[in-house]
Structure 1
Amino acid sequence: MTSRSTSFALAGIGLLLAACTQSGAPVSTVASDDQATDRADGRDWPGFGRTEGEQHFSPLGEINASNVAKLGLAWSLDLPPGNSATGPIEVDGTLYFARFYSEVNAVDAATGKPLWKYDPKAPEVSGVRLRQGWGSRGIAYFNGKIYTATQDGRLIALDAKTGQPVWTTQTLDPGDLRFISGPPRIMDGKVLIGNGGADVAAIRGYITAYDAETGKQVWRFWTVPGDPAKGFENDAMRMAAKTWAGDWWTKGGGGTVWNAMSYDRATNTVFIGTGNGSPWNRKIRSDGKGDNLFLCSIVALDAKTGAYKWHYQINPGESWDYNSAMDMALADLTIAGQPRKVLITAPKNGFVYVIDRLTGKLISAKPFVPVTWAKGIDIATGRPIENPGIRYESGVATISPGPMGAHSWLPMAFSRQTGLVYIPAIDLKVTYDDRGITAQNWKRKGGLALDYAVNPTIAFPKGNEDSASSLVAWDPVRQREVWRVKTPIHFNGGVLATGGTLVFQGQMDSKFNAYDARNGHLLWTFDAKAPVIAPPISYSVNGRQYVTVITGNGTSGGFLGSALARYEIDYRTQARRVLTFAIGGGATLPAKIPHVVKAIDDPDFVSDPTTEARGSMVYDTRCLVCHGGGVAAAGTAPDLRMSGAILSQQSLDAIVHDGALVSQGMPKFDELTDQERSDVRQFLRAAASSLRKSPPTPKPAP
């Protein structure tokens, strides 16, 4: 809550800043040689969220609400197939980005001219780790070096001028099943990196800090306790172990730091967001008992030593794939008449949290999407007020949001100009069913196969099938919605807020939009000829402001591929491009390549429901995460219903068993038996047959 006088004061500041920006002057009057601080002038964008506070806000105002209609394409750069849902960075007139599996590219930020490229050949050396994750989500810059992390666990420092490796270190142990897809962060002269894998393997999360100049490990913080018989690394793990039950360490635990980190330079504090449990089902993971620290938590650490300072657990005893790995924006707000240093986050569970970043005490929490799993958050205890039955006590529970989250990894933005948070929100529900799954009969499938110890079925809310997402402007002081714009389908792009009173966001329908940050009015739109889900950035070169975004569907955007069929997103034909805009830009794009979802001809196919049912089980645990539910991939990977590989067992075996396409990002599954490979081929042929009989009817975009 805030007083009326405080509210009017904030509004007045917003109007004053808007006036300054629309005149063309940047909002920030603080020039700094260190472009990583939140108060830097915005000339560069050196990290995933631009600054250490992860605000995804640029103070630049040359492009503003008054002239954004004149924004045009300055240049574009075509990219090869492979994940392009990644956050670029820019420093001193050079744009850097990592496409596919951490292939780092450097181009001239004003012209798009390629300067250098470095390919770590991650697919070829990732082995089984290639089965999870879709490639790099981002990179970082510090002191003349670009930092990238690879699927196989390497952290690499490159010379920013030449692209040559300066040092490389392996952050994962040989033979473990972790992988890396998230961007490194630079904090206190260190480069920090976590990892993922808790959805599919016995993973115990951790984050590691390395000296940014040498690559030498400085500290490591484990997020969940290990085997008590082996002792604990520190008092924090000893404390956390008291919140677990059974033999949790044999299941892994989870709590991976796969995405979000922030840094408060004033207190030299690192904030990490931790992931879900491994497996999801607490009944299996921890005998159904305990809060299971530090799952689904925000943990504050000393940046110098990695020592624990405090934690706030978003979902005690997490059991729904809710996690706190979404971006955490640091801000200074006036709340109830008092200045507060806060951390703002909108994690998967559907609430916006405002937390005192000095103490970890919850200030407020309110839902920004429909929430059915909880009545609210108890401010006194910080704990959620859970609704009965949500832990599928009777075996089944239907709740909102679903495991894709009310907010996925694509970042929100906090505007220092308006004081608002802009969230790419998702509204999906899920039914969890663990009937027949017990601690006695559950055993991991192994090999990084999807296995949550509960069966989730994701669905669209009734009547909301065409627009189950939105861009939400949220006041974190008064904890209320200011405006909301519906966006197509269930997945929308990362957000950029600028000092020009603008919010930029891309969409699955190929639109890249600019909204008035104050009221959500659409001020400008551009047809990108391809989905735009990657987070945009803004920077200045030779006094001219640019906005850059990369097109192409990737990562988890294609998970519910059948819902995206109307957008004709194909792995082989969709346009993956770097698009850079400036006032007066006049470049154009070629027409979109037409794509028709048409099944491969297979005149010899004969249905065998028993075999197809077995093949479906193989597909759902090994293939679905990339090739999509219902074998509709929507651009993340090839649509196998259209692939000639399914016509020949020999061809399919060469890919699946022998690894013929590993270099292109297709992992091999050499542990599958001849029967399992035959079963999955029969299932894929059946899916193609269904498509031939009932081809999709084009539907207009919502």
Structure 2
Amino acid sequence: MNPIRRTVRAALYAAASALLVAASGQAAAVIDNAALSNEADGRDWAAYGRTFSEQRFSPLDQINRSTVSRLKLAWTLDLDDVWNVSTAPVEVDGVIYFAAGYSVVHAVDVRSGKLLWKYDPKVDGKKMRMAWGSRGITYWNGKLYTGVQDGRLFALDAKTGSLVWETLTTTPGDNRYITGAPRVFNGKVIIGHGGADFGHVRGYVTAYDAETGTQAWRFYIVPGNPDDGFENAAMEAAAKTWTGQWWKYGGGGTAWNAMTYDPEFNRVYIGTGNGSPWNAKLRSPEGGDNLYLCSVVALDADTGEYLWHYQTTPGETWDFNSTMDIVLATAEIDGQPRKVLMHAPKNGFFYVIDRQTGKLISAEKLGKVTWAERVDMSTGRPVEIKGSRYEDGEALIWPGSGGMHNWQPMSYSPDTRLAYIPVRELPGYYNDEGRKASTWTMTPGDVLGLKGFFDDVPKNAGSSSLLAWDPVQQKKAWSVETPGATSGGVLSTRGGLVFQGRADGKFQAHDASTGETLWSSDMGVGTQAPPITYEVDGKQYVSVLAGWAGGQMLLGTLSAQHGWVGREHPRRLLTYVLDGEATLPPTAAPSFAKPIDDPAMQLDPAMVAKGRELYSSCVICHGVSAVAGGYAPDLRASPIPLSADAFKAVVQGGGLEARGMPRFEELSDDDLTAIRHYIRERSRYKPSIGEQLGAAWDFIKLLIKMKWKQYFG
């Protein structure tokens, strides 16, 4: 942008803010480009990553290594009418704002913990089937912005909660949905979407005028049908890296999380998603890199024009999204300061990239990675290990589709010069048995182009840790094991601390230099949400949302091992301050499902097999192998499937829609009977000795088989 235009725009924002202050009679925080570029002022936390850099680092140090032992609860607020709080709040002028469940926006007074207002956008019921919820919200010029599962983006007046504008960013009835946090810069708000795992989707990001909601520009991430022409030169170039008729499936490339604005270069970096279908042999049968899947794409912030890209996983075929956060910093590389971005996508590598040119500086494995040997620095491409693309029909690789690092955000401290990353090690099984590009068609039961995996996931199938990583040396500084296979996002501070909420219900502070646990507090329930910190009336506060729900809950016993059940355990906002005097409200102890049965019900093996396939629509909420991970009820222990009439009233008729259970009108009575047979079969299932020892026996056999094949040929 022309420097004179940028100066004029900043002056206009400042003048408008001054008028607002004069009208209200009190000094109000002005959240604009200048505020979001200011790394030194930690009083507010107004955006997803606090500032444009997305470092999730606070310069506040009242709570530090010496004082953190005095950190106590200031207050808690239980949220009984929302189901998912895996979200990042923001705070401005002593008010915390967050979007919980299906983007129900809450405003809470920091001093008292009292709810000031809330706004429910009333999500479309059919979109309730994708139970991810909102992951974030942002603040700009007195307004709050967030997306809705049904594809809407809206702006609210921050003081009153009244709707200012809303717009549909998707097409009615398509597979797209919004879970990620929007970002605002230069008076524009940008949003992407998800949906490539559920059907035909071509990914894009869209920028809107932050004051009116009018569309400013849109950038498609993958090319469409060449016969329709290309939107720009970037799409024409990308099409040369695809083969076959990819557009019939959409192609994927959804940008559902990472979007980082760089004020120094006036550009925005987009982290792009996986292919659709996952199986590259089906969507692009003659190979190709399939741009711009699984990439960091740099766009001009004013026009959306393509500038450069770096692809982390060319021709990806494992759901290796690069939609994980993109962090900006200045790092000393070979004795010289470099403007870099840091990126830890699903594929298990940590990337440092020159953000001016897009040139790769370095890339190394964060942990166990078996799909690629290394990244070739002469080409910037991964050196893949033979067999990892399931060329022989199946493969077991690390990491799996959940990634070594998923959406839970990392943090970077300019003080320690370390990145703090919530990582996990969990393999993935891939099998495209019976699928050929010449005959395969995407159907609701086969969107990914892979054979379904129906077995329970045992609690020791994966592990997680909080990893401190030196981005310049590309090596581990320290790590702390965390319970289960997933934990919350991370916050680091000038007080020398790293905060993280965990799956076991503990909220902890670690020494940022050593990893030593300096403080721990019981939240009463596990979390994946990232904490924030801010200052009100001279006091530093730390807030975190806790509650067990979201996409990580679908992994059966692996998710259920902590004993959190969505309707039995709280969803709450917890706020801490030095010498706080509040106490944690009474919380139910962890509980575990006890399957029930109707001995009179005779199981039909054919109906059980049919029900297993149909149950795939239930997995996100009710867990694999009908083992609920804690969000929705465990159907093996529910009395509703015991009654054909009750089951029909709920599933077809929407009898529990008010409690978050969507209706499935398209299922026939015969389908419902088949699902009931499958649920009863799972409730009667007796674990083998191997499972009683803590692992699914079939899973163990698979591990043995694939390891033997991989390491001994």
- TM-score, structure 2 as length reference: 0.89
- Residue by residue over 1:529-569, the C-alpha shift from the partner in whole angstroms, topping out at 9 and shown as x without a partner, is 10021000001111100000011122222121312434211
Q: Write the mapping of 1:411-490 to structure 2, written as runs, cut at 5 A.
A: 411-446=409-444, 451-455=447-451, 457=453, 465=460, 468-490=463-485
1:326–1:345 Cα contact (<8 Å) kept: yes
After TM superposition, give the deviation of residue 126 of structure 1 in Å.
4.3
Q: Quote the Cα distance in structure 1 between the aligned partners of 2:634 and 2:446.
A: 20
Per-residue CA deviation, residues 126-177 of structure 1 (Å, 9 max, x unaligned), is 42x3322421111110000011111111111000000000011111112211
Match of 1:90 in 2: 91
Q: Which amino acid aligns with 2:316?
A: E
Q: Does 1:527 align with 2:527?
A: no
Q: Distance in 2 between matches of 1:270 and 1:596?
A: 45
Structure 2: distance between partners of 1:278 and 1:625: 18
CA distance in 1, matches of 2:233, 2:563: 53
1:636 matched to which residue of 2? 631
Contact 2:330–2:339 (CA<8 Å) still a contact in 1? yes
Q: How does 1:670-689 map to 2 (within 5 A)?
A: 670-689=665-684
1:516 to 491, 499, 511: 511
- SS of residue matched to 1:35: helix
For 1:288 and 1:574, the matched residues in 2 are separated by 50
Match of residue 55 from structure 1 = 55
More off after superposition, 526-535 vs 591-600: 591-600
SS across alignment from 1:332:
strand
Deviates more, 1:670-679 or 1:334-343: 670-679
Q: Which amino acid aligns with 2:164?
A: V
Matches within 5 A, 1:285-300: 285-300=283-298
Amino acid at match of 2:46: P
1:604-643 equivalence runs, <5 A: 604-620=600-616, 622-643=617-638
Does structure 2 retain, via aligned residues, the 8 Å contact 1:612–1:686? Answer: yes
Residue of structure 2 equivalent to 1:25: none
Q: Is it true that 1:377 corresponds to 2:369 in the alignment? A: no
Instruction: Confirm or deny that 1:191 pairs with 2:192.
Output: no
For 1:492, what is the secondary structure of its paired residue? coil
After TM superposition, the structure 1 = structure 2 runs for residues 199-210 of structure 1, keeping only pairs within 5 Å, are: 199-210=197-208
Q: CA deviation at 1:618?
A: 0.8
Looking at structure 1, the residues matched to 635 and 99 of structure 2 have their Cα atoms a distance apart, in angstroms, of: 26
Q: Is the 8 A contact 1:118 1:163 kept in 2?
A: yes
3-state SS of paired residue (1:36): helix
Query: 1:450–1:423: structure 2 CA closer, same or farther, 3 Å change rule?
Result: farther
SS at match of 2:667: coil
Deviation at 1:288, TM superposition (A): 4.3
Q: CA deviation digits over 1:306-357, x for unaligned, max 9?
A: 0000000000001000010000100011111011000001000001000000
Aligned partners of 1:427 and 1:460 also within 8 Å? no
CA distance in 1, matches of 2:455, 2:488: 20
> Quick one: distance in 1 between partners of 2:451 and 2:615?
15
* C-alpha contact 2:506 2:522 (8 A) present in aligned 1: yes
**Using the alignment, how far apart are the partners of 1:108 and 1:697 within structure 2?**
48
Separation of aligned partners in 2, 1:467 and 1:309: 39
Partner of 1:542: 537
Tell me, yes or no, if structure 1 residue 177 matches structure 2 residue 172: no
Match of 2:501 among 485, 488, 506: 506
Q: TM-score, normalised by structure 1?
A: 0.91
Work out which of the residue numbers 351, 354, 376 in structure 1 matches 2:352: 354
User: Which segment is superposed worse, 656-665 or 333-342?
Assistant: 656-665
**Contact 2:468–2:476 (CA under 8 A) maintained in structure 1:** yes
* Counterpart secondary structure, 1:455: coil
Contact 1:133 1:179 in 2 (8 A): no
Kindly indicate whether the alpha-carbon contact (under 8 Å) linking 1:78 and 1:576 is maintained by their aligned counterparts in 2. Answer: yes
1:390-409 matched pairs, under 5 angstroms: 390-409=388-407
Q: 1:472 to 1:458 in 2, by over 3 A?
A: farther
Contact 2:423/2:466, CA 8 A, preserved across alignment: yes
User: Which residue identity is paired with 1:204?
Assistant: R
Give yes or no for contact 1:133–1:181 (8 Å, CA) kept in 2: no
Partners of 1:365 and 1:148 in 2: CA distance:
33
Change (3 A) 1:330 1:172: same
- Secondary structure at the counterpart of residue 626 of structure 1: helix
What CA distance in whole angstroms lies between the structure 1 residues aligned with 2:266 and 2:326? Answer: 16
Q: Deviations over 1:404-455 (max 9, x none)?
A: 0000111000112111100000101112111111224422233xx5631013
- Is 1:72 aligned with 2:72? yes
Q: 1:650 aligns with which of 645, 651, 654?
A: 645
- What is the letter of the counterpart of residue 278 of structure 1? S
Task: Tell me the residue number matched to 1:24.
Answer: none
Distance 2:39 2:452 in 1: 43
Change (3 A) 1:500 1:467: farther
Deviation at 1:692, TM superposition (A): 11
Name the residue aligned to 2:582.
Answer: 587
How many matched pairs? 661
- What is the CA distance between 1:687 and its match in structure 2? 2.1
Alignment of 1:193-232 (within 5 A): 193-232=191-230
The 3-state SS of whatever aligns with 2:422 is: strand
8 Å contact from structure 1 (residues 32, 40) kept in 2: no
Contact 2:136 2:181 in 1 (8 A): yes
Aligned to 2:227, the other structure's residue is in SS state: helix
Q: After TM superposition, give the deviation of residue 477 of structure 1 in Å.
A: 0.8
CA distance in 1, matches of 2:601, 2:55: 54
After superposition, what is the alpha-carbon deviation per residue over 1:263-313, rounded to whole angstroms, capped at 9, x for unaligned? 111111100000000000011111141000000000000000000000000
Answer whether contact 1:74 1:585 (CA < 8 A) is retained. yes
Residues 456 and 556 of structure 2 are in contact (CA less than 8 Å); yes or no, is this contact kept in structure 1? Answer: no
Point out where structure 2 has 5 or more consecutive residues left out of the alignment.
1-30, 695-713
SS in 2 for 1:271: strand
Cα separation, partners in 2 of 1:619 and 1:459, compared to 1, 3 Å = closer
Amino acid at match of 1:611: M
Query: In angstroms, what is the RMSD of aligned CA positions?
Result: 2.2
Instruction: Please name the residue that 2:271 is paired with.
Output: 273
